[in-house]
Chain A
Amino acid sequence: MKIEKNRFYEDLSLILMRTKQAFFAVGGLFLLLLFFFWKVQVLDFKKYWSLSEANRTRESVISAPRGLITDRNDVILADNAGSFKASLIRENCQDFGRSVENISRLMQIEKTDLEARIAKYASFPLFKPIIVKDNLDLREVSRVESQKLEFPELVVETDARRFYPFSTLAAHVIGYMQELTPEEMNSDSYKGRNLGDLVGRTGVEKEYESLLIGADGSLTEVVDSVGRSRGEVARVDPSPGHNIQLTLDFDLQRKATQLLEGREGAIVVLDPRAGEVLALASFPTYDPNKFIARFTPQEWMDLINRPDDPLENRAIRGLYAPGSVFKTTIALGALSSGQITEGTTFFCGGTTRFYGRPFSCWFAGGHGVQNLPQAIQHSCNIYFYNAGRRLGVERIAEYAKALGLGALTGIDLPGEKEGLVPTEEWSRRVRKTEWYPGETISLSIGQGPLLVTPLQVACHTAILGNRGRKVVPHLLRFPSEALEQAEQISDSPARTISAGTFEKVIKGMWKSVNEGGTGHFAMVEEFDVCGKTGSTQLISRERAAKLGKEIKTHSWFTGFAPRDNPRVVVTVLVEYGGMGGATAAPLARELFNLYKDKYD
């Protein structure tokens, strides 16, 4: 049966029309939204795709372990130890200010230090981790790890950290490492290095940086939103740096450091045959482990501002007048140029006059009549005043240079100093005054403007011991074939001095040590040590007397042993050590003794 609409059903046409209108509005909005999805998913696909890729992958550096540094007998002097470091990734900070505050509290770093450190690297991309603290202890590591979710910006990484097991030992040879500065990072010489990388600043660490570093590897990982790794995508293994063997002998080096303990000075032990440096010590010293820590600016400032300058390698950078050590040079020059013979004698009455000025011997009583070997044996000033006066400043300079003084030795360490051998030309050019003849007299006993380094004196001594053959001192140990080649290269100006001339001077040096001369405290039984002492006056004796107090002199001893075919050279310098024979010679004896026990 057909039902007529309005009898049983109400008229709903008005509200039904309204439902249609609402439906059209909703339908329109659906279309609009679909269009937005089209835009994001199809038109802007590339942009969002790369954003999602950047989200899910993380590139990190696998640092290559730095090469080890060992002594000649494979004692490890510079090692790598595992350590943890904490880095801040600024990109992950939700609120930068609060992050800094939290990290400063969590890691116990002064907030100002932390801010300064971050500011230093402000110009680097936000995703680059900035190391905020290294060498974390386990408690710190667990503190960071346990709050990983709260602080996604703070990450802990393991790190092969440089470690010097004998801390201060040979610190000046090995050198220390410091973090690359932002400026260096941007320079070409450190391309490919990473933020917070350490580089050698001095010593072998700097000299052989390129050998030691190796090449860092890289790792691309898939990570989730809290930075957990979900597997590797790509990996480039690091290639470790080369190990370096030094010519140093651990025992000699340790002995040399112990002997200098409490003094300021330097000791060089050299093998004169090929120039291998067996020990090279400078005191006061420092602990290079301290430099690895990135957060001790105050300690660093304290160290560089200390008046005794522990960072300075006195063996290659300390400039001293050689004092009486220079007398052998005068002797060789005077003999070689025919100004004197071995038998030429001069009378020492304790004092004499040249050019109207008094010049005295260190032995006020006078040595009496002395020939050359005796003069070297007793280190008689008067004898060498005369010999030097005959030789003249120009020829003194010529022989000094020929015998390795006042010139770079060529050792494989950065920062070696050249020293100075004065000439008349130098005086005019630099001092703007004429060279006074009286200065030649002072120069004859190694005083005046003459400046040498302890290493130069050691090389000079090697030339004496080698009877004129020059060697280049080096720390990197070569294979033995290379050594033999090095011995062939022996062409040096000192060759113009005959072997016989050397013998005459060496005879004096032998007497000095073995026949009660100034060097007798360096005597070693059955080792034929030949040596020469020196005491460098800092002010003239007359002036010291006037001041009425004793001014201590720098104390030198340099020598080689045995007399024929010498195998070891020892040079000792003690600043303000007093007389060379009394202070430096006994230290040298200890080293000769040790060498003899170990190698003979």
Chain B
Amino acid sequence: MIDRRHIENIDWFLIILLVLISLVGVLVVYSSSHYLPGKYYLKQMLFIGVSLVLLFLFLAVDYTVLTTYSFYFYGLIAVVLAGMLLFNQLTAKESWIKLRYFQVQPSELAKIALILVLAQMFSEYKRNYVSLGAVMASGGLVATFFILVALQPDLGTAVSFLPLLLGALILAGLKRKALAFILVLSVLLGVAGWNFILKDYQKNRLTTVVFPGKDPRGSGYQILQSKIAIGSGGFSGKGFKKGTQSQLRFLPARHTDFILSVVGEEFGFLGVAGVLTLYFLFIARLFHSCAKSRDRTGVYIIFTVSMMFSFQILVNVAMVIGLFPIVGIPLPLLSYGGSSLLTSFLAVSLVVNVKMRRFVNI
């Protein structure tokens, strides 16, 4: 299944970039949690190690095999998500499956399932523009997961499914009419969601993006503290472990969703620009990898992965600086958390998988 030529074609640059960003993450996680019990930075190192091993193991399976069986994977995840939902209706709300030694968030793995299933769906789709039927079919697949996860309730993860669908549809070719239809539909969904689905705390988060000063101790607190942290870092930052906003715990979710605020406070604009540059290189490498695919399936895989990363990075960065509601989307690779990290590594693994098998065996 794997031969020497495949190994020669592994995109080491991408993997090194991936690990480098993750290690920067460990550094910042250390700075923002070293005074807490639980040794988060050590756990994060362990996650990176495990994820890296899984990344390479995952390469052994040809991506075409993965896409061929992707519907079974999708079905399995759907059953697990639905089962959790039913189970949680009976007991306390939890979006985790607790195993003996570690916990997995099935909703994170759902992203991988969606990437594969969408690639499979569109693998033979050769029209210039996408048909309504294809939109409905792919939309239905994503919507199923979206609803199951949003009900957990984990709006952040659910929302991060959308760029996968959007990516697939962009590739398949959206006409202007269709784009308009999607916009109208999302507005309608938004209105319906606001009135029937969103919980009060989620509504608050949305309104505070518009009026952050309205209630500085309430829902605007997190955004305000994050902006204070970033702004007070200035051009060159307060120094490693010297950020008062994070060390004195004014900043919420310091080592998870708001980890970039810690970067901004302790390493200043230079730090943020450095991290964003790394991300940009990473994203650029992903997008350019699209051309390194031997078939349509591969392009879909790489492009949806690129869209997934782009969306999560952009939303998280916009969120910490107060331009986007707090939806609970972590910064990929930097934020503390095993499931998110594993998903990122597996997604990159898929990209490497496609690239290393780009030459047809004759």
Looking at the complex, which of B90-98, B194-202, B267-275 is the stretch in contact with chain A? B267-275
Complex contact A48–B299 (CB within 8 A): no
A56 within 8 A of B: yes
A545 within 8 A of B: no
Min CB–CB distance A504 → chain B (angstroms):
83
Q: Which residues from chain A contact B283 at a C-beta distance below 8 Å?
A: 23, 26-27, 30
Complex contact A52–B228 (CB within 8 A): yes
A303 within 8 A of B: no
Q: A18-B173, A26-B314, A56-B244 are in contact. Are A37 and B303 (CB under 8 A)?
A: no
| Measured CA separation A224–B280 after assembly (Å) | 35
Q: A44-B231, A48-B230 are in contact. Are A224 and B250 (CB under 8 A)?
A: yes
Docked complex: B223-249 residues within 8 A CB-CB of A: 225, 227-235, 244-245, 248-249
Which of A22, A52, A53 is most buried by chain B, counting CB atoms within 10 A of its CB? A52
Complex contact B235–A45 (CB within 8 A): yes
| Measured CA separation A47–B295 after assembly (Å) | 53
Bitwise interface map of A from 26 to 50 toward B, beta carbon under 8 Å scored 1, else 0:
1101100110111011101101110
Complex contact A12–B245 (CB within 8 A): no
Docked complex: A1-40 residues within 8 A CB-CB of B: 3, 8-10, 12, 14-16, 18-20, 22-23, 26-27, 29-30, 33-34, 36-38, 40
| Measured CA separation A415–B235 after assembly (Å) | 65
Q: A52-B232, A225-B250, A230-B248 are in contact. Are A37 and B264 (CB under 8 A)?
A: yes
Complex contact B232–A9 (CB within 8 A): no
* Closest residue of B by beta carbon distance from A20: B287
B170 within 8 A of A: yes
| Measured CA separation A48–B272 after assembly (Å) | 16
Complex contact A15–B217 (CB within 8 A): no
Q: Which residues from chain A contact B126 at a C-beta distance below 8 Å?
A: 10
* Closest residue of B by beta carbon distance from A152: B217
* Dominant SS among interface residues on chain B: helix
Complex contact B231–A95 (CB within 8 A): no
Q: Which residues from chain B contact A19 at a C-beta distance below 8 Å?
A: 171, 287, 290-291, 299, 302-303, 306
Complex contact A40–B307 (CB within 8 A): no
* Dominant SS among interface residues on chain A: helix
Which of these, A27, A30, A222, contacts B248 with CB under 8 Å? A222
Q: Which residues from chain B contact A47 at a C-beta distance below 8 Å?
A: 231
Which of A10, A15, A16, A23 is most buried by chain B, counting CB atoms within 10 A of its CB? A15
Q: Which residues from chain B contact A230 at a C-beta distance below 8 Å?
A: 248
Complex contact B294–A9 (CB within 8 A): yes
| Measured CA separation A94–B128 after assembly (Å) | 55
Min CB–CB distance B170 → chain A (angstroms):
6
Min CB–CB distance A181 → chain B (angstroms):
29
Q: A27-B280, A225-B250 are in contact. Are A49 and B231 (CB under 8 A)?
A: yes
Min CB–CB distance B125 → chain A (angstroms):
10
| Measured CA separation A265–B228 after assembly (Å) | 67
Looking at the complex, which of B59-67, B73-81, B315-323 is the stretch in contact with chain A? B315-323
A226 within 8 A of B: yes
A55 within 8 A of B: yes
* Closest residue of B by beta carbon distance from A34: B276
A364 within 8 A of B: no
Q: Which residues from chain A contact B302 at a C-beta distance below 8 Å?
A: 19
A51 within 8 A of B: yes
Q: Which residues from chain A contact B227 at a C-beta distance below 8 Å?
A: 40, 48
| Measured CA separation A55–B265 after assembly (Å) | 14
* Closest residue of B by beta carbon distance from A25: B310
- The size class of the interface chain A forms with chain B is 35 or more
Complex contact A41–B229 (CB within 8 A): no
Q: A15-B299, A26-B314, A51-B228 are in contact. Are A41 and B248 (CB under 8 A)?
A: no
Q: Which residues from chain A contact B249 at a C-beta distance below 8 Å?
A: 224-226
| Measured CA separation A94–B220 after assembly (Å) | 11
A92 within 8 A of B: yes
Bitwise interface map of A from 51 to 95 toward B, beta carbon under 8 Å scored 1, else 0:
111011000000000000000000000000000000000001111
A223 within 8 A of B: yes
* Closest residue of B by beta carbon distance from A48: B231
Complex contact A23–B171 (CB within 8 A): no
* Closest residue of B by beta carbon distance from A13: B291
Bitwise interface map of B from 201 to 229 toward A, beta carbon under 8 Å scored 1, else 0:
00000000000000101100000010111
| Measured CA separation A56–B248 after assembly (Å) | 7
| Measured CA separation A27–B286 after assembly (Å) | 12
| Measured CA separation A222–B244 after assembly (Å) | 9
Q: A41-B269, A45-B235, A224-B248 are in contact. Are A33 and B321 (CB under 8 A)?
A: yes
Q: Which residues from chain B contact A223 at a C-beta distance below 8 Å?
A: 248
Q: Which residues from chain A contact B314 at a C-beta distance below 8 Å?
A: 26, 29-30, 33
Complex contact B217–A48 (CB within 8 A): no
Complex contact A30–B299 (CB within 8 A): no
Complex contact A37–B272 (CB within 8 A): yes
Min CB–CB distance B134 → chain A (angstroms):
14
Q: Which residues from chain B contact A222 at a C-beta distance below 8 Å?
A: 244, 248
Docked complex: B255-307 residues within 8 A CB-CB of A: 264, 268-269, 272-273, 276, 279-280, 283-284, 287-288, 290-291, 293-296, 299, 302-303, 306-307
Docked complex: A182-201 residues within 8 A CB-CB of B: none
| Measured CA separation A19–B249 after assembly (Å) | 41
| Measured CA separation A3–B284 after assembly (Å) | 28
B360 within 8 A of A: yes
B167 within 8 A of A: yes
Q: Which residues from chain B contact A34 at a C-beta distance below 8 Å?
A: 272-273, 276
* Closest residue of B by beta carbon distance from A15: B171
Complex contact B235–A55 (CB within 8 A): no
Complex contact A225–B360 (CB within 8 A): no
| Measured CA separation A23–B245 after assembly (Å) | 35
* Closest residue of B by beta carbon distance from A54: B228
Which of these, A12, A30, A41, A225, contacts B233 with CB under 8 Å? A41
Which of these, B217, B245, B268, B303, contacts A52 with CB under 8 Å? B245
Complex contact B230–A16 (CB within 8 A): no
Complex contact A27–B284 (CB within 8 A): yes
Complex contact A8–B360 (CB within 8 A): yes
| Measured CA separation A230–B225 after assembly (Å) | 19
Complex contact A33–B230 (CB within 8 A): no
Min CB–CB distance B122 → chain A (angstroms):
9
Q: Which residues from chain B contact A53 at a C-beta distance below 8 Å?
A: 232, 244
* Closest residue of B by beta carbon distance from A12: B299
Complex contact B291–A16 (CB within 8 A): yes
Complex contact A40–B248 (CB within 8 A): no
Complex contact A51–B231 (CB within 8 A): yes
| Measured CA separation A52–B248 after assembly (Å) | 11
* Closest residue of A by beta carbon distance from B224: A51
Min CB–CB distance A28 → chain B (angstroms):
10
| Measured CA separation A598–B234 after assembly (Å) | 77
Bitwise interface map of A from 225 to 246 toward B, beta carbon under 8 Å scored 1, else 0:
1100010000000000000000
| Measured CA separation A20–B303 after assembly (Å) | 10
Q: Which residues from chain B contact A29 at a C-beta distance below 8 Å?
A: 310, 314
Complex contact B276–A33 (CB within 8 A): yes
Q: A10-B296, A41-B235, A48-B231 are in contact. Are A22 and B303 (CB under 8 A)?
A: yes
Bitwise interface map of B from 322 to 340 toward A, beta carbon under 8 Å scored 1, else 0:
0100000000000000000
- Across the A-B interface, the 7 shortest Cβ-Cβ residue pairs: A48-B231, A52-B232, A23-B287, A224-B248, A41-B269, A19-B290, A225-B249
Known: A16-B290, A26-B310, A93-B217. 12 other contacts (CB 8 A): A14-B173, A18-B173, A19-B302, A30-B279, A33-B314, A33-B323, A34-B276, A36-B323, A48-B228, A52-B228, A52-B229, A55-B250
Question: Can you spell out 24 A-B residue pairs with CB atoms less than 8 angstroms apart?
Answer: A9-B295, A14-B128, A15-B303, A22-B287, A23-B306, A27-B284, A30-B279, A33-B314, A34-B272, A38-B269, A40-B227, A40-B321, A41-B234, A41-B272, A45-B234, A48-B230, A49-B234, A53-B232, A93-B217, A95-B218, A223-B248, A224-B249, A225-B248, A230-B248
Q: Which residues of B contact A (CB under 8 A)?
A: 126, 128, 167, 170-171, 173, 215, 217-218, 225, 227-235, 244-245, 248-250, 264, 268-269, 272-273, 276, 279-280, 283-284, 287-288, 290-291, 293-296, 299, 302-303, 306-307, 310, 314, 317-318, 321, 323, 360, 362
